[in-house]
Structure formats: C-alpha cells, structure tokens
C-alpha cells in the first residue's frame, strides 16, 4: 500500500472563477507564447498520473489518448486535482503546450494498492508498442509519498529512454532554505526533474519544500486552470508548478522532432530544458537554478563545426565543408 497524495494546498480550490479571455499570468511569466511561434506541442503525448480527468472539458477536446483507470472507482475526476494539472500542461486556453495530447492515468481512489506501480508499468508497455508519433514523451507526477523501489526502477528506465519524468517538490516548506524538507518522494530522487513553486513575483512560495535536489522553479500560487464540470478554479501548490515544466518538455520534444526528424534519446531534451531557465537570485534549495523561461532563441539549439575548428550555424558549416571538398580535402560535419 502507498501513502501518496496530491501536492496541492488544501483546500485545493480557493474560488470558482469565470473563463477569462486573456492568457493566465503564469503562462506569460514562463514565456510560453514565445515558443508557440515554433510549436504548441503538435500532438506529442503527455501522461498524467493523478486523480483522473474531466475528458469532456472543452480545454481538452479531441486530444485525449489511451487513458486508464487503475482504481475501482469511476474513471471520472471527482477530486479535480488531475483536471487542474492537465489544464496547466495542455489546456487549449490555460496550458503551456496547448497542442499536446493527454493520457490521463487515474491512481487516486479505492481498491488497488498497486495503482502507482501499474500506471508506470502501463506507460512503459504502451511505449514499447506505440508508433513514435504516439509514444509518451513526458510523465507528470504532482504527488508525493513513500519510497517505492519498483517505481524508482521504472522511472530510471523511462528517463534513460528519453521520457521526461517531472515531479513536484512538496508543500512542507517554511520559507527557510536552511530547513530541508527531504521526505518528499519522488522529488528527492536523482532521475526525475523536481520543481519548486514560485509566486507571481517569481520568488519561491513559502509553502514550497526546500532541499538539495530541486532542479528549477515554476509558477505555483493561485494558478488558473480547468476544473471538472467545464469550469475553472485557482489552485496553489507545487502540484501546479510541476505541470508547467511538463508542458515545456512537450514543447521541446515537438521542436526537436521538427528539427531532427526523430524522438530524442537519453538526456537530449533535458539538456535543452536546462538552457531554458532564468536566474532569480533565490536559494537553489528552494527553486534550483531559477525559473522556467521558454523564450525561443535559436542560440539554444545545437551548433555545428567542421574539422577546421570553426563554429557556424548549419548553413555556414555546409558552406565551409563544400569549400574544403572543392579544394581537395576530405571534409565532414559534426553536429553538437
């Protein structure tokens, strides 16, 4: 049996809110619209291990894939946490990656003490059979609990295969980075990307857990997103911070596929993700190396060189290589 619980502050909802025409502040803060000039996620699949999803919500219309209920309860999201998380990742009007597809995996409920293990096994088995266009590229884990070696093993396998596993840091913080709240699993693991929560001023939220191993921060306080029944609510917690990074991972994978014509392997996308962080000056034990920043700049992408040692963009590398060939040299190009 497991003691995992969602990482939103209780009560989850602060208030019902009406649909808004403008982009939520948190989407603007991480500069997601800048990246949308390149891609909005373009159909890549993100798995959300949570309380389920309101699959009829307009925010996700036509973009649900291969969901599964691992409890004996209804597949509906009676809690709301999973729907809110999904809205931050890929909501049409509330998400970082509004073009991605969503795989809802319900694990919170009654009847199955191994639901979390089963959900991770499902992702691994699904990816082993799916075409590249339908493979899960990222997994959102906005929850915490006690250590499980089976789940840890599968997380390691997924990460080695290039699947991003993004987890919330936990809500046990006291605002003091000297006080380490290291109990949260799987946030303290090496393999996942662990996300702390930030306020609207870009600084760490007082409730966000602090410990060595938090990788970066993202908005987590009073986040506007979807709610079951077609509505919207404001929630706070590291549960709301992690899906910003999951959405970012989806954008980066989609851009990588456009450029390279294949899915990433190993840590190729994670390395690019960590170029999309802006320093905040806050203690790294609260928000890692800084806040997620999706400003699209071509300098973040690979450079090319030829054996002369000079560095160019790809067109420059091709020109130099061809000039060497014309001069009688055996030339090659290497991408970095």
- Which residues are the active-site residues? 50, 81, 239
Degrees to nearest 5, angle at CA 266 with 261 and 272: 70
Structural contact between residues 268 and 163, judged by C-beta atoms closer than 8 angstroms: no
Q: For residues 58 and 93, what is the distance between their CA atoms, to the nearest angstrom?
A: 9
Q: List CB contacts of 158: < 8 A, sequence separation 6 or more.
A: 120, 123, 124, 127, 139, 165
| Rounded Cα gap, residues 249 and 43, in angstroms | 13
- How big is the chain, counted in residues? 336
User: Nearest to residue 208, comparing CAs of 195, 223, 227?
Assistant: 195
Q: How far apart are CA 50 and CA 52, in angstroms?
A: 6
What contacts 195, CB < 8 A, 6 or more positions away? 166, 167, 168, 169, 214, 215, 216, 217, 218, 238, 241, 242, 244, 245, 288
**What sections of the chain are H helices per DSSP?**
25-29, 32-35, 81-90, 115-129, 149-160, 238-260, 268-273, 284-287, 314-326
Question: 291 phi and psi, to 5 degrees?
Answer: -95, 140
Closest by CA position to 39, among listed 261, 255, 302, 247: 255
Question: CA dihedral defined by 85, 91, 97, 99, rounded to 10 degrees?
Answer: 140
């Amino acid at each position: 049996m497991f003691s995992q619980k969602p990482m939103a502050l209780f009560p989850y909802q602060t208030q019902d809110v009406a649909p808004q025409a403008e982009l939520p502040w948190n989407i603007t803060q991480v500069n997601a619209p800048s990246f949308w000039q390149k891609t909005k996620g373009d159909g890549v699949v993100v798995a959300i291990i949570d309380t389920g999803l309101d699959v009829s919500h307009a925010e996700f219309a036509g973009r649900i894939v291969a969901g599964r209920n691992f409890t004996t309860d209804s597949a509906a999201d009676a809690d709301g946490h999973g729907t809110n998380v999904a809205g931050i990742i890929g909501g049409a009007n509330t998400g970082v990656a509004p073009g991605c597809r969503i795989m809802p995996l319900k694990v919170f409920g009654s009847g199955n003490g191994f639901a979390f293990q089963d959900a991770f096994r499902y992702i691994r088995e699904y990816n082993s059979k799916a075409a590249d266009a339908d493979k899960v590229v990222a997994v959102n884990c906005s929850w915490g609990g006690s250590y499980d070696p089976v789940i840890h093993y599968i997380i390691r396998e997924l990460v080695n295969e290039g699947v991003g596993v993004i987890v919330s840091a936990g809500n046990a913080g006291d605002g003091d980075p000297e006080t380490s709240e290291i109990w949260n699993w799987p946030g303290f693991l090496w393999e996942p990307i662990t996300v702390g929560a930030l306020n609207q001023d870009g600084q760490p939220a007082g409730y966000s857990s602090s410990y060595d191993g938090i990788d970066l921060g993202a908005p987590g306080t009073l986040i506007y997103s979807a709610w079951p029944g077609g509505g919207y609510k404001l929630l706070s917690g590291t549960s709301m911070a992690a899906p910003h990074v999951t959405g970012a991972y989806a954008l980066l994978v989609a851009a990588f596929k456009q450029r390279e014509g294949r899915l990433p392997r190993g840590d190729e996308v994670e390395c690019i993700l960590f170029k999309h962080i802006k320093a905040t000056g806050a203690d790294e034990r609260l928000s890692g190396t800084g806040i997620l920043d999706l400003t699209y700049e071509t300098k973040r992408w690979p450079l090319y060189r030829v054996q002369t040692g000079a560095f160019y963009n790809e067109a420059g590398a091709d020109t130099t290589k061809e000039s060497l060939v014309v001069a009688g040299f055996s030339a090659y190009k290497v991408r970095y």
